[in-house]
């Protein structure tokens, strides 16, 4: 088999890349080791930046998103017995977020690709990439796929990044001493917007997936056993951390999904080697506090799509050379914002009174200073997409005119 772009992974990054390339007349094959049912039900992020919404709508896959997504024009920071709203409509006019589950984005993209005759192969095994420097190809299930370029969109634990020779990539990583216990519950949200709660007992987040489904997170110790958290304990702890302002009562309901996710910051540089280009979680991970994971993947894919379109239009490799640098500029901004939100809202050491006072001081500043609140708001809703990176920051692309 032969295609122009071989894509490893059928998450949001791989599927969106395939669809955007299709719109530019560029062929691709998407390989996914999991089943279609699994990837369409896998619960992940649910907050879409303004730029992500715009990208999906412009790509023709935003009809259900616009109909069922929940636009939000602010968030609440809750601490010290009071709630403080960060009003996006005032601080960053015309920009907002939309709550719409990642699995719903995946469903929309799969439907669009299949309707257009796209080649998505689920349940493939023994996937490996070869000859990344000049004539790349992918093997899977006893078959071979030749291509001009390989896009590694297969997540943090995928096969793409480890295929790069030792010593080429530099990893920057930080692990946090806590995790998030997340649940989905059949209960209407108790607030119209997301609530980020900072307490001495730890962080809590009130979110939602629809008018009937709520999403909650609790800070728990790293390595916590999920069996130690029966439903009754989860609701009791959520109430303790969220019912801290007068008049607020947390509605409860049936918990139908729960899990524990460790928090990690990770970046690999560069995000490319030869004819392999990494996108999304294959290249970077952020703690979910800043809601940046899937949004960064969309930004990567936009850059890669434009670069590949230029490559196939006139043979220019300059945009591909600059892919990593262009993406990393945004990645590091999101890394800092996610780290900042995490350190601002989580309890690191219950005995460190000095650190707790610093947290409170900065929360007071963010909620009383329009300049500080604007910084939070513009990062949260998503910064504009960047211009191309100068050539001096480029990574040479192996190969010439296609």
Which listed residue (79, 100, 176, 196) is catalytic?
196
Give yes or no: 258 in active site. no
Distances (CA, A) of 244 to 195, 251, 355: 12, 14, 21
Residue for token digits 């997504």? 69
Distances (CA, A) of 245 to 55, 199, 207, 208, 233: 38, 12, 17, 20, 21
Which listed residue (273, 292, 319, 346) is catalytic?
292
In a 3-state reduction of DSSP, which class is residue 101? Answer: coil
Cis peptide upstream of residue 270 (ω within 30 degrees of 0) = yes
Which listed residue (136, 189, 270, 288) is catalytic?
288
Closest C-alpha to 213, from 182, 181, 250, 185: 185
Give yes or no: 380 in active site. yes
- 11 vs 42: CA distance, rounded Å: 10
Give yes or no: 176 in active site. no
Which listed residue (100, 176, 312, 380) is catalytic?
380
- 51 vs 269: CA distance, rounded Å: 24
User: Cβ(217)–Cβ(254) under 8 Å?
Assistant: no
C-alpha of 2 from chain center: 30
Give helix then strand counts, H and E, for the chain: 12, 20
Which listed residue (72, 84, 206, 284) is catalytic?
72
Q: Are strands 5-8 and 28-31 parallel, antiparallel or unpaired?
A: parallel
Residues marked as catalytic: 72, 196, 288, 292, 380
């Amino acid at each position: 088999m032969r295609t122009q772009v071989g894509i490893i992974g059928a998450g949001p990054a791989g599927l969106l890349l395939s669809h955007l390339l299709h719109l530019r007349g560029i062929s691709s094959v998407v390989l996914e080791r999991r089943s279609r049912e699994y990837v369409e039900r896998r619960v992940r992020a649910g907050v879409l930046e303004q730029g992500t919404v715009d990208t999906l709508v412009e790509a023709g896959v935003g009809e259900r998103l616009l109909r069922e997504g929940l636009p939000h024009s602010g968030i609440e920071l809750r601490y010290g017995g009071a709630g403080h709203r960060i009003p996006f409509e005032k601080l960053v006019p015309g920009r907002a977020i939309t709550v719409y589950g990642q699995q719903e984005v995946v469903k929309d993209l799969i439907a669009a690709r299949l309707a257009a005759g796209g080649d998505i192969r689920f349940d493939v095994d023994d996937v490996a990439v070869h000859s990344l420097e000049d004539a790349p190809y992918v093997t899977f299930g006893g078959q071979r796929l030749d291509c001009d370029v390989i896009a590694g969109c297969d997540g943090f634990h995928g096969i793409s990044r480890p295929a790069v020779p030792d010593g080429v990539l530099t990893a920057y990583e930080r692990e946090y001493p806590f995790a998030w216990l997340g649940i989905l519950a059949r209960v209407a949200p108790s607030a119209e917007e997301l609530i980020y709660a900072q307490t001495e007992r730890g962080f809590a987040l009130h979110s939602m997936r629809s008018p009937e489904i709520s999403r909650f997170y609790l800070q728990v110790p790293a390595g916590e056993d999920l069996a130690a958290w029966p439903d009754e304990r989860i609701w009791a702890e959520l109430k303790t951390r969220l019912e801290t302002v007068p008049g607020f009562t947390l509605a409860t309901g049936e918990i139908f999904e729960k899990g524990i996710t460790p928090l990690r910051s990770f970046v690999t540089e560069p995000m490319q080697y030869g004819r392999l280009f990494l996108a999304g979680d294959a290249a970077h991970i952020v703690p979910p506090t800043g809601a940046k994971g899937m949004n960064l993947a969309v930004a990567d894919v936009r850059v890669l799509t434009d670069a590949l379109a230029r490559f196939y239009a006139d043979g220019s490799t300059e945009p591909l050379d600059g892919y990593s640098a262009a993406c990393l500029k945004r990645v590091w901004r999101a890394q800092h914002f996610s780290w900042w939100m995490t350190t601002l809202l989580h309890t690191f050491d219950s005995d460190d009174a000095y650190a707790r006072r610093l947290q409170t001081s900065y929360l007071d500043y963010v909620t009383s200073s329009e300049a500080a609140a604007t910084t939070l708001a513009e990062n949260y809703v998503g910064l504009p997409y960047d211009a191309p990176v100068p050539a001096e920051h480029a990574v040479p692309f192996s190969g010439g005119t296609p």
